[in-house]
Structure formats: structure tokens, C-alpha cells
């Protein structure tokens, strides 16, 4: 799969973000974004073990070869700098997908990068996977991410207390969803 097309109905900084398939060339960059056990747990809960290694990322890439398992992307700026990571997982064509492992490079936070990545992942889910719903789970303490998702049309479904045990403690997860009919007026010009 090639680069994901940019959304065309917005004229913001995030329009300059391009999603490209995650490759081995992205490993060192991604590893550098999660230097501590707490950073890793905040990003992916217990999906990876600290420290993040090339071997774990190799298995991650390999898992994406299974049908409907996951699409993994690196976000690039207009200057061709890697600035984020996002995954579309649990792909059930014509039903739903799940956004997972969303991470913005430390020096790029609070600049709209997450909004741009998530908006493009939504476009991919709705227009290329043909789903009617996109779900995600986010740490209840990650208020900036929750606010970002709400602005993109996601709604809270509920909270799962003590959902995940990580090396740094239990994590409460806020479950969120957005449907095609909510996304369509926001996501693209009709």
C-alpha cells in the first residue's frame, strides 16, 4: 500500500502530513520516541516490552502480513520528517476497525500532528476498508488525546477501570467510537 492521500477539504498544517507504510527504516526513530518504560506503557500499554527492540518491531511487521490484522503507518511532515506512528487494527471490512498505537514524536506534540494522523487513518478506514465504525481505547489520564478524538467526532462509549496492567501500574481505558455518518460531514467534502 502506498502513501495515504491527504484530506482535501481542510487547509491546515495537518494537510501536509502523509501516512506511509511502517518499515524497518522507521525502527530506530520509533524506538527513540519511547526512551523510558513509562513512555512505552503510555504509548502501547503492555503490547510491547521495555526496552522496545528491533526484534519486537520485526514481529510487529510480520503480524501485519496476516489478513485483516493491521495496517501500520509512519506519519511524515511536508519536509519528509518522520513525526508520528499510527495503526489501523482489527480490520473487519464493511463493519469496523480500531485505531491503535498512536504516537507523535516528542518534539512535534501540540501541533496538530495527532489530529492529522487520526483524520487520515479514519479516511483510510472508511474509504479503503469500507467500514461503518472506527473504535479506539485511550488511557483515561491522556486528556489531550481524548480531546483530540472528541474534536474528530469520536464519542465516549464507556470506561473500563483497571483495563490493562503495565509495568508502571493499572490503566483505566476510555473506549471511544466514531461512525461513518458522523465522520462523513467532517472528514471530506461531499
Span 48-103, pLDDT tens digits: 999 999 999 999 999 999 999 999 999 999 999 999 999 999 999 999 999 999 99
Mean pLDDT of the chain: 90
Span 14-23, pLDDT tens digits: 578 999 999 9
**Averaged over 104-129, what is the pLDDT?**
96
The residue written with cell numbers 474509504 in the block is 127
Q: Is-contact 64 56, C-beta < 8 A?
A: no
Tell me phi and psi for residue 71, to 5 degrees.
Answer: -115, 125
* pLDDT beyond 60 at 46: yes
User: Torsion angle of alpha carbons 184, 185, 187, 190, nearest 10°?
Assistant: 80
* pLDDT beyond 80 at 190: no
Cα–Cα distance, 99 to 134 (Å, whole number): 7
pLDDT band at 178 (very low <50, low <70, confident <90, very high): very high
Q: Tell how strand 155-166 and strand 169-179 pair up.
A: antiparallel
* pLDDT beyond 80 at 164: no
For the chain, how many residues are written? 190
Cα–Cα distance, 86 to 177 (Å, whole number): 16
Q: Is-contact 56 114, C-beta < 8 A?
A: no
Q: Is-contact 176 155, C-beta < 8 A?
A: yes
Q: Is-contact 126 99, C-beta < 8 A?
A: no
The model's pTM: 0.88
The answer to whether the bond into 124 is cis (omega within 30° of 0) is no
Span 20-35, pLDDT tens digits: 999 999 999 999 999 9
Domains with residue ranges and CATH for the chain: 13-133 (3.40.630.30)
**Averaged over 128-132, what is the pLDDT?**
96
Amino acid at each position: 500500500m502506498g502513501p495515504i492521500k491527504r484530506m482535501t477539504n481542510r487547509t491546515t498544517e495537518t494537510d501536509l502530513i502523509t501516512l506511509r507504510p511502517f518499515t524497518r527504516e522507521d525502527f530506530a526513530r520509533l524506538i527513540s520516541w519511547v526512551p523510558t518504560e513509562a513512555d512505552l506503557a503510555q504509548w502501547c500499554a503492555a503490547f510491547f516490552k521495555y526496552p522496545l527492540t528491533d526484534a519486537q518491531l520485526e514481529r510487529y511487521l510480520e503480524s501485519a502480513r496476516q489478513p485483516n490484522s493491521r495496517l501500520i503507518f509512519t506519519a511524515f511532515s511536508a519536509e519528509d520528517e518522520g513525526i508520528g506512528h499510527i495503526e489501523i487494527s482489527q480490520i473487519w471490512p464493511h463493519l469496523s476497525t480500531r485505531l491503535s498505537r498512536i504516537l507523535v514524536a516528542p518534539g512535534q506534540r501540540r501541533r496538530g500532528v495527532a489530529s492529522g494522523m487520526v483524520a487520515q487513518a479514519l479516511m483510510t478506514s472508511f474509504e479503503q476498508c469500507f467500514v461503518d465504525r472506527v473504535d479506539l481505547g485511550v488511557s483515561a489520564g491522556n486528556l489531550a488525546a481524548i480531546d483530540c478524538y472528541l474534536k474528530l467526532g469520536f464519542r465516549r462509549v464507556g470506561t473500563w477501570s483497571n483495563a490493562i496492567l503495565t509495568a508502571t501500574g493499572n490503566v483505566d481505558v476510555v473506549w471511544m467510537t466514531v461512525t461513518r455518518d458522523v465522520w462523513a460531514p467532517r472528514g471530506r467534502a461531499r
